[in-house]
Chains A and B, each alone.
Chain A
Amino acid sequence: MGIVFRKEEMKDIQSASNVNIVQAPAGFEGPGFFATKLDHVVGLARKNSIWPLPFATSCCGIEFMATMASTYDLARFGSERLSFSPRQADLLMVMGTIAKKMGPVLRQVYEQMAEPRWVLSVGACASSGGIFDSYSVLQGIDHIIPVDVYVPGCPPRPEQILEGVMSIQTLIQNESLRRRNSPEYKQLLASYGIE
């Protein structure tokens, strides 16, 4: 015997299941089949299941906590599963000042990540050193690792961090499967001295 719902209860359930589902990529459709490009499917899957590694060092990390918390809720973008192990992470989110003492650590974390990997530099300090133009601060993490998206602000608002994540999503969706094998990409990594 099934569960019988009253009419007003049904309404609640329907509204609760009002979940957005991503659009299928363009392709050919017919009875029982759907054909599309592998790139598109992989991009779609990767885009909506990013596992970020929060590399939160200072103030921006607190704004990241706000982004994770209930009001802004990063989970809406499929990124609520934080991967604290670099081996399983897709996205390295560098939030906060990276001092020279920290530089080698950051680089090691990047090297430990498996391809494909993306880097989001959150805040002025990570992007350029910010207001800390001093002897101990690395003037932008792009001196040691390649960066995909920069988020400005000191610290950026959670909305800005979300926009940064969405920009990363766009990059991921449109990335060719062969990009990581391309000579340009290898040259980029070589310019940073990363194998």
Chain B
Amino acid sequence: MDKPTIDQVAEAINEKFGDAILSKEQQYDFTVITIDKSILVSLFRFLYDDERFQFRYLTTACGVHTPDQPKPFTMMYQLHSLVFNLRIRFKASTTLNDLQFDSLIPIFSSANWMEREAFDFYGIRFKGHPKMTRILNVEDMDYHPMRKEYPVEDLTRYDKDDTMFGRDKANFKKLN
């Protein structure tokens, strides 16, 4: 079978899910397709099953928080077709009020912990996930630390002089 070009992949997606494709751009060696989050599972299932492409390897998935966007929370998925050595990136965004995506576990077992990590870091929930709990942080943590509004530092430190170390007082006050 001939190796498809990435444009052919984009075309096929466009053909099948035309109205759900929000944008397509080239970022260095990757084609990035922004989609509506409602088609996530059906799109990935299509790319997995289609013999022309065989995107059967989920390279990675992660959350991104861009506070100044209208839809601040984004999930990034990267697929790899090992047969044709094609890589593609998908993005889907949502708002704080609708912080839920469909889980990819039925297609890729590896999505399990990637989604739990996104929940832990950003509070993004995944519908159909068997265990939507924190994975890296302690269970009783009460915020999602990777969101931009939270500081990197430990909030309980008392040994740092704020005037010397430039600690972000605004954030510190907000949380306490």
Do A and B pair up? The answer is yes
Q: Is the interface of B mostly helix, strand, loop or mixed?
A: loop
Nearest CB in chain B: distance from A99 CB, A:
9
Bound: A132/B138 CA distance, A: 17
Expressed in whole angstroms, the minimum distance between the Cβ of B47 and any Cβ of chain A is 35
- Is A17 in the interface zone, CB < 8 Å from B? no
0/1 interface trace, chain A 10-37, chain B, CB 8 Å (1 if under) = 0000000000000000000000000000
Interface check B1, CB cutoff 8 A: no
Query: 6 closest A-B pairs (Cβ-Cβ)?
Result: A101-B138, A135-B145, A134-B152, A135-B154, A133-B153, A100-B138
Cβ B137 vs Cβ A136 within 8 A: yes
Q: Which residues of B contact A135 (CB under 8 A)?
A: 145, 150-155
B-contact 0/1 string along A115-137, CB 8 Å cutoff? 00000000000000100011111
Interface size, A (range): under 10
Q: Which chain A residues numbered 72 to 101 have a C-beta less than 8 Å away from chain B?
A: 100-101
Contact with B along A134-162 (1 / 0, CB 8 A): 11110100000000000000000000000
How far apart sit A136 and B156, CA to CA, in the bound complex (Å)? 11
* Residues of chain B from 137 to 176 with CB closer than 8 A to chain A in the complex: 137-138, 145, 150-155, 157, 159
A87 to B137, CA, bound (A): 29
A139 touches B138 (CB 8 A): no
CB distance from A158 to the nearest CB of B (A): 30
